[in-house]
Structure 1
Amino acid sequence: MELKSLKNLILSCNSFNGSFPTPDLITLGRLELLDLSRNYFNGSIPQNLGKLSYLKALYLAGNLFKGSLPVPGLCELRRLQVLDISHNRLEGTLPSCLSNLTSLKVLDVHDNLLSGSITPHLIPSQKFLQFIDISKNVFEGSFSFSSMFNHSKLEVIVLGGTTNKLQIDNDNQAGNGIPLFQLKVLQLSNCSMKNAPLFLLNQHRLIWVDISHNKLSGAIPSWLLQNNTDLKFLNLRNNSFTGKLDPFPQHPLSSMVHMDASYNHIDGHLPKDLGIVLPNLQYLNLSYNFFKGELPSSVGAMRKLLLLDLSFNNLSGKLPNELVKNCTDLGVLKLNNNNFRGDFFSTHFNLSDLRALELGNNEFTGGLMTKEEFYAEMRIFDVSNNKMTGKIPNGIDAKVLLLQSNSFEGQIPCEGFFNAQVVDISHNFLSGQAPSCLISKAFSYVKLLNLRDNRLSGNIPAEISFFPSLRILLLGNNRFNGLIPRQLCQLRDISIMDLSNNFFSGSIPSCLSNVSFGNYFSYSWGNLTFSYWNIRHEDGYSDLYPLVRLYDFTSFWDNVKLEDHLLSFKGNILSYMSGLDLSCNNLTGAIPQSLGKLFSIRALNLSHNHLTGHIPVSLSNLSQIESLDFSYNNLSGRIPSELVDLNFLAVFS
């Protein structure tokens, strides 16, 4: 079939592979648009690409192309308006002949391995260029914005990225002139900047500004809000801004939907009219600062909020009723590590769409929400280290459920925990037996179960063997009794088991040698890492498309890593992340020879029991052991000299 008159060829988002289909495409001499993006093409981009002389748009993003850019083939495409070769493995320098592409509007080379310096002659002629993204490469040297001041149509500049070594010339000297462009998008994250570029004072049409992860200091640039009334997205995260959120704009900024000033040194009170000035905000992150005082009631005016993160500040007082009553779209609320007080689940509470609630390390009182439907879609539920009371309700559930260090009492409920991966209800006043009805029906996905420091009693239910995913089991400091059930030996993937400070009797089950204690788990806590909030939100950014055609704006995103929650577990076997603690019980009999098969265990504590007999020579096979404690028993005989060969043993008692 003759296709010599074909103008547009779009093969994007398929599973094509192999090298660039040169023989077939070169015959399409009238081709104006070629889109091979998001496939599996590999190899190099061919030199004879220049034969497609009518080409106006070339999209090769999201493939496996490697090698250097084809010179002069690429630079022969004098009609080219869009060049998108992002998300590949291209290396080498940008060819200087790119400056000859005088019709170019979009230049996107981000997320490659391109290197060298960015000199003014590499930037195409100032006549038409609207979009340039060179981020996430390995460029080095300095980059001057003044070299682009004559690009009157420029709207999008994206630099930086964690791999670039570019030093931004801030052009903060008088006489550098005023740019002819008015930007819509400026992304300068990870650029090692110490000062914001002075030309920003002359920008009034900005929609998206990201200057996060730099070394910026001084007062927060609130003038960005005042000068750009159409601003939607402002990211100041991880800098060294100080002072107060002052002067705060006096007029409503109805366009703003995303503001992140977290990980700075901002202090003072939050503006009283915060919610009135930012009524349509959907994402607000002010965490890891030094804000103090009470949360203003105007926050209740931000009725479209999806995420509010005020964690790790010095905020105090009761929460305004307007927040828990009016912000009904909230999906993520993080208030942990402050000094808030009062009954969170008050009669005004109306936040039914929460997916992540983090209230840990405050002074909240009162009981938990009793409506089961409230927990139906919950991912993170953290009320740890507060002053909450009452019983744990039926139906409580979340992937991460942290209730530790409160004053909860009564029995563990028989319904709930069906989706739980991390359950910590330690350091409370829970009593009664661990309900077998619960264990037999729930905990299918649980990886960490911490019931330490309660008043639980009775036997460990035999149904505990139904925990197929369990990695960490912490039952210490309770009143459990009876024999250590052999069903524990079926939990082969356990890395840490703590049964200390209880009333267990009888002998140590020899079958515990079947448990991995770190062998299978490999200490990789990353296996327990999961994201709990990912919103793809493009509404409101359509005015930037198709110019910013590959931006997906997945900015409402957060990660919870289990190691963050494990930091509170100090001492004993937990500090080794692999171990067995049976200390402070009433165990009798000999130490099983089979424990010498625990080749990956790092801590073994059998102290404060009534064990008799010799220390087995087989324990010299514990090649990874770092702590071994057999003190306060009735052991006899000699200490095996072979234990000297344990290279990692640091503590032996």
Structure 2
Amino acid sequence: MFVDPVYSGDSQKMLIAIIPVYSGDNQKMLIAHYSCTSSMEPVFVHSEGKNKCKIIVDQDFKTKAGFEKLAKLSSLENLDLSDNIFNNSILSTLGGLTSLKSLYLGYNGLTGTIHVDDLKHLKNLEKLDISYNELDSFVTHSGFQRVSVLGKIKVLDLEFNLFNSSILPSLGVLSSLKIINLRSNNMSGSLHRGGWCELPYLQELDLSENDLKGSLPSCVGNLTSIRLLDLSYNQLNENLTSSPIINLAALEYLFVSHNHLEIPISLVSFYNQSKLKISPSISNLTELSWLFLDNNLFVGELPDSLCTLSNLDSMYISNNQFSGRLPRLMGNMSNLTHVVMFSNHFEGPIPVEFCKLDNLESLDLSENNISGTIPSCFNPSRIKHVHLNRNSLRGSLSGAFYNNSSLVSLDLSNNILSGKIPRWIGSLSILSILLLKSNHFEGEIPVQICQLKKLSMLDLSQNTFSGRIPTCLHDISSDSSYEKSYLTPTFRPAVDYSPWNFVKGSNFLGPHEYELHFAYVQQQTLFTTKHRSYSYKGNILDYMSGVDLSCNLLTGEIPAGIGNLSEIRALNLSHNNISGSIPATFSGLKQIESLDLSYNSLSGGIPPQLIELGSLAVFSVAHNDLSGTTPDQKAQFATFEASSYEGNPLLCGPPLPKSCTENVPTPTRQKDLDRQGEDDGFLDTEAFYTILPYFSKVDAYNLVLL
């Protein structure tokens, strides 16, 4: 049974949503709308305040009877049927909604072709959202000019469908269009001229995440009202200096990342911009807030004139071929929040003027040729993420980052930094990632590192740290962090299409009122663990925690408290001179997947409790002074080969070829073996260089956990 929506006179203006509600095997519909009255007598009513109610009604999808009654709501202005399982036939039932201004049909089962004739009576329609379906074309029995009856449409959202490139020319008759969203469709090849180039009011065009190639047609320059153009994630390969984009005088936001574009950084051909004022005098770019040029083929140096962009908030120019020194005048860009410039050819020092960037939250200069020292004054109060790995930085940390309470990730790996880890490291109260791998750091690991209660990834490998492992290391909590997973923030332009815009009493919200929605780039992290390099990204990074102290000069015993790190997934203490026994408390490493204690001076037996480690995939205690029997061949330990135990003369049992029933060496013989071990040194050089390939490939957040 279909319950009629109730309204009083013409007061019925909005049907907010019809979404499926399941009760047993009976499919029902939930209708929420305004202007309801207490006289309604549906089976279930839930009041949501004055003049608002929800009605649960039965709906037979096999008939159109219910929607024929819906179509009688001739005063209805806004209808949201998104997130349902309707098919294309729903359109033919809506012809009576002659006052309709917005129609939301996203996330349904619409497929194939939309017949424009089904919409011909919706002459007041301003917003049509049929996104996230499987539509591929519009057709009409009366020629495509018939679509001109929809001449009031201002917003057309077709994202995540199957439309090809022919859709654009057919939209030229919709002269009122202000926003076209064709993100992630089947558009391929070159764009061709057509009426879409003549749309006088078009302000936002999103063609991102398609397979467009070649160059843009010259008619793009006729889009004189366009403010936002998103061409990112395509295969475009033109030179922007000769592109028709240079004629788009109203352009404010240009997204061209992940293409094959070429352009000199001077951008001298962009001489007509009044908002995106890229001109021979680049200092006129006074309104530019975000610059996205990443993943292209840009070359040359950054001009000093770029640094006069006082409103620039974010600069994303990674994965290009920029070169030269970082401009000192960047220190004058006081509004800079995010500077992401990794994987270029920048050289020279980090300008001391960067110390003035107090609003900076993210700085990524990794994978360049940056040299010199980290300015001791560099300590922005809001800085969250600093990535300087894979450069040629020298010197000590000195005062940089001192007492910073905002820093979440600090990656200084693969440089030539030296000195000791400063004791103030413990003041970085929310630090989650600390990567100092492959430098020349020395001295003892400071106990203050144990104050980092949120630390989940610690890599101090390939340095010359000495002394004992801090007994308090178990105090780090390995807490996961949202900030850790989403390290680099970005923005995506989008119109707020929610019908609640109308509820607030506003009329159509045109592109002039669109907002840039804040989002996050999921950060990708490369770990070498389980003898392979794995890439972790986004939320998965929350579940990855590890400690790598390998390839140092550490001595003393392994603190038993490390066994309390129940959430840790990888622990690498190999290639040190650690002595004593393997703590039985290691059975508490419940999440451990990779445990490497090889190439040390450990003695005693292997705790049998380790067979309780059900997640352990890689285990090595090779080349120590262990004795006794190997753990029972049960659970995970049934999968480990002899290489996990080799180099321990007094160790016996499977999978080693040595049986525990054989005679053990005499004390005299054992002393000879010990003396031979001392002559060889604690580090097997040949074996050490054998594992070096694991260290040769370094990427952002590369943690070696063999």
Query: TM-score, normalised on structure 1?
Result: 0.72
In structure 2, how many angstroms separate the alpha carbons of the residues matched to 1:491 and 1:350? 31
Selected match of 2:71 from 23, 26, 50:
50
Equivalent residue letter for 1:281: L
User: Aligned match of 1:200 in 220, 243, 264?
Assistant: 220
In structure 2, the CA distance between the partners of 1:378 and 1:488, relative to structure 1 (3 Å rule), is: closer
Alignment match, 2:522 = none
Give 1:218-233 correspondences, 5 Å limit. 218-220=238-240, 226-233=246-253
Q: What pairs with 1:13-412 in structure 2 (closer than 5 Å)?
A: 19-21=28-30, 47-48=67-68, 49-60=70-81, 64-69=83-88, 70-86=90-106, 88-93=107-112, 94-96=114-116, 97-110=118-131, 112-119=132-139, 121=144, 125=149, 127-137=151-161, 139-161=162-184, 164-167=185-188, 170-172=191-193, 179-198=198-217, 199-220=219-240, 226-248=246-268, 249-251=279-281, 252-276=284-308, 278-325=309-356, 327-347=357-377, 349=378, 351-368=380-397, 370=399, 375-393=404-422, 394=424, 395-397=427-429, 398-411=431-444, 412=446
Shift of 1:358: 1.6
1:605 paired residue number = 620
Q: Name the CA shift for 1:608/1:624 in 2 (closer, same or farther; >3 Å).
A: closer
Judging changes above 3 Å, is the alpha-carbon distance between structure 1 residues 313 and 202 closer, same or farther for their aligned structure 2 residues? same
Give distance in 1, aligned partners of 2:578 and 2:200: 76
SS of equivalent residue, structure 2 residue 298: strand
User: What's the counterpart of residue 497 of structure 1?
Assistant: 571
Partner SS, residue 65 of structure 1: coil
Q: Which moved more, 1:215-224 or 1:312-321?
A: 215-224
Counterpart contact for 2:341–2:365, Cα < 8 Å: yes
After superposition, the C-alpha distances for 1:177-227 in whole angstroms (9 at most, x for unaligned) are: 951424211111111000344232212222111100000113135756643
Q: Distance in 2 between matches of 1:315 and 1:366?
A: 19
Give the Cα–Cα distance (whole angstroms) in 1 for the partners of residues 252 and 80 of structure 2: 28
Letter in 1 for 2:439: N
Residue by residue over 1:26-84, the C-alpha shift from the partner in whole angstroms, topping out at 9 and shown as x without a partner, is: 999xxxxxx99x999998795233121122222455xx322324132223323322223
- CA–CA distance in structure 1, aligned partners of residues 416 and 653 of structure 2: 51
Q: Secondary structure at the match of 1:414?
A: helix
Deviations 1:588-646 (A, max 9, x none): 44555555554543322222223344556525863554774322222477756999xxx
Give the partner amino acid of 2:186: K
Contact 1:579 1:604 in 2 (8 A): yes
2:346 partner SS: strand
Q: Is the 8 A contact 1:145 1:169 kept in 2?
A: no
Structure 2 Cα separation of the partners of residues 362 and 621 of structure 1: 40
Among candidates 390, 402, 420, match of residue 455 of structure 2: 420
1:156 deviates by 0.9
In structure 1, what residue type is equivalent to 2:405? Answer: A
Any conservation in 1 of the 2:122–2:150 contact (CA below 8 Å)? no
Closer, same or farther: CA 477–25 of 1 in aligned 2, 3 Å: closer
Structure 2 gaps of 5+ residues are: 23-27, 38-50, 269-278, 485-542, 659-706
Deviates more, 1:477-486 or 1:302-311: 477-486
Closer/same/farther in 2, CA of residues 427 and 202 from structure 1, 3 Å limit = same
CA separation of 1:8 and 1:385: change in aligned 2, threshold 3 A: farther
Call closer, same or farther: CA 1:366–1:340 in 2, change over 3 Å.
same
**Shift, 1:235, TM fit:** 1.0
C-alpha offsets along residues 438-494 of structure 1, whole Å, 9 cap, x if unaligned? 64765463899xxxxxxxxxxxxxxxxxxxx99433333445455545444444444
SS of 1:194 mapped into structure 2: strand
When residues 182 and 599 of structure 1 are mapped into structure 2, their CA distance, relative to the original with a 3 A threshold, is same
2:595 pairs, out of 552, 556, 580, with 580
Is the partner of 2:462 in helix, strand or coil? coil
User: Number of aligned pairs?
Assistant: 545
Q: CA 1:182/1:197 → structure 2, altered by over 3 Å: closer, same or farther?
A: farther
CA distance in 2: counterparts of 1:633 and 1:328, whole angstroms: 55
Which letter maps to 1:66?
I
**What SS does the aligned partner of 2:257 have?**
coil
**Residue 291 of structure 1: CA displacement?**
0.8
Q: State the SS of the aligned residue for 1:201.
A: helix
SS, match of residue 364 in structure 1: strand
> CA 1:41 to 1:407, structure 2 compared with 1: closer, same or farther past 3 Å?
farther
Distance 2:413 2:293 in 1: 26
Q: What is the CA distance between 1:356 and its match in structure 2?
A: 1.7
TM-score, normalised via structure 2 length: 0.67
Residues 430 and 641 of structure 1: CA distance in aligned 2, closer, same or farther (over 3 Å): closer
Q: Is the CA contact (8 Å cut-off) linking 1:617 and 1:640 kept in structure 2?
A: no
Partner Cα separation in structure 2 for residue 589 and residue 149 of structure 1: 81
Contact kept, 8 Å, 1:17 with 1:41, in 2: the verdict is no
Identical-pair percentage:
26
Contact residue 558 and residue 578 of structure 2 kept, 8 A: yes
Measured in 1, the distance between the counterparts of 2:235 and 2:56 equals 38
Measured on the aligned residues, the alpha-carbon RMSD in Å equals 4.2
Match of residue 491 from structure 2: none
What secondary structure sits across from 1:299 in the alignment?
helix
SS of structure 2 residue aligned to 1:365: strand
1:592 to 1:402, Cα distance in 2 relative to 1, 3 A:
closer
Shift of 1:319: 3.6
> Is the 2:17–2:79 contact (alpha carbons within 8 Å) kept by the matching residues of 1?
no
Q: 1:21 to 1:414 in 2, by over 3 A?
A: closer
User: Alpha carbons of 1:41 and 1:582: their partners in 2 closer, same or farther (altered >3 Å)?
Assistant: farther
| Alpha-carbon distance, 1:407 to partner | 3.2
Deviation at 1:425, TM superposition (A): 3.1
Structure 1 residues 615-624 or 279-288, which shifts more? 615-624
Change in CA separation of 1:216 and 1:410 when aligned onto 2, cut-off 3 Å: same
User: For the structure 1 residues 580 and 419, does the alpha-carbon distance in structure 2 shift closer, same or farther, using more than 3 Å as the test?
Assistant: closer
Q: 1:40, 1:400 → 2: CA distance?
A: 50
* Among candidates 469, 479, 486, match of residue 445 of structure 1: 479
CA distance in 2, matches of 1:505, 1:58: 72
Larger Rg: 2
Determine if contact 1:231/1:256 at 8 Å carries over to the other structure: no
Counterpart of 2:11 (choices 3, 7, 11) is 7
Q: Is the 8 A contact 2:109 2:133 kept in 1?
A: yes
* CA distance, structure 2, for counterparts of residue 264 and residue 41 of structure 1: 54
Task: Check the 8 A contact 1:406/1:427 in 2, yes or no.
Answer: yes
Indicate if the aligned counterparts of 2:18 and 2:29 stay in contact, CA closer than 8 A.
Answer: no
Q: Is the 8 Å Cα contact of residues 599 and 622 (structure 1) preserved in structure 2? A: no
What is the Cα deviation at residue 99 of structure 1? 4.5
Distance across 1 between alignment mates of 2:343 and 2:326: 14
Q: Give the structure 2 partner of residue 570 of structure 1.
A: none
SS for the counterpart of 1:388 is: strand
Determine if contact 2:215/2:238 at 8 Å carries over to the other structure: no
> Is 1:589–1:611's contact at 8 Å kept on the other side of the alignment?
yes
